[in-house]
Amino acid sequence: MGLAKRIIPCLDVKDGTTVKGTNFVNLRLAGDPVELGKAYSDMGADELVFLDITASHEGRKTFTDMVTRVAAEVNIPFTVGGGVNELSDVERLLYAGADKVSVNSAALRHPDLIDEIAKRFGSQVCVCAIDARFSDGVWTCYVNGGRVPTDRILTEWASEVADRGAGEILFTSMNHDGVKQGFALEALATLHESLPIPVIASGGAGCMKDFLDAFTEGKADAALAASVFHFGEIAIPDLKAYLRANGIKTRM
């Protein structure tokens, strides 16, 4: 059956509080990120992702104290992103307790950052997050928390990211984010076929079948979601049981 598929709750953090929006806007509060992270760890989540969603836009650093508190409370790997612009940011977050660091805007502006992280800390530390929007037949990559379009195309940038040494890609479809109508399956399958590294599906989870589709049709290695977990719509143990009943290997 291959490697177990991973279930990853994502906590978007703004001003120290977990928030969740639709299509990257209209945010609503979802709770304390440390408490939520511990709860998900206890429920059987495989990993966690914490994203400081306004760090790049506001030009400041990801807060480190939250990472330290999370590390003290959870016993599963977690990734931290937002405002990571240079090696010293990566070093600071890893020292605070993060297992992986996610880069997005800074990597698009300075692709060499991916090479530097992989060389200094290892590919397994470097998660490259890609926020892309589908319009006029093209997936365009965005920076600054989905606020600013670039001239980079999803598949081309993803291939370069892999070539530069990133350990995995976190692909978020901005069209699907928070809409709860399923993941971007065709784009996910295309990434799977063209890349030698794992792909995490993000944006669109609304029911358990959406996760199943992400793993079967989308060929994703992991599926990330936020609101369906934060607001109690899907329980992680139930989701894993459902996936196993449908032939998907998951960690117990």
Catalytic residues: 12, 131
- The rounded distance, in Å, linking the Cα atoms of 60 and 84 is 9
**CB neighbour burial string for 101-110, b if at least 16 within 10 angstroms, e if fewer:** bbbbbbbbee
Tokens of 238: 């139930």
- The rounded distance, in Å, linking the Cα atoms of 225 and 61 is 24
User: Crossing angle, helix 154-164 and helix 112-121, to 10 degrees?
Assistant: 30
Tokens of 228: 């369906």
The number of residues in the chain equals 252
Indicate the pairing of strand 148-153 with strand 138-143. Answer: antiparallel
Tokens of 22: 């639709």
- Contact 49/81 with Cβ under 8 angstroms? yes
Q: What is the DSSP code (8-state) at residue 136?
A: T
DSSP, residue by residue, 209-232: HHHHHHHHTS--SEEEESHHHHTT
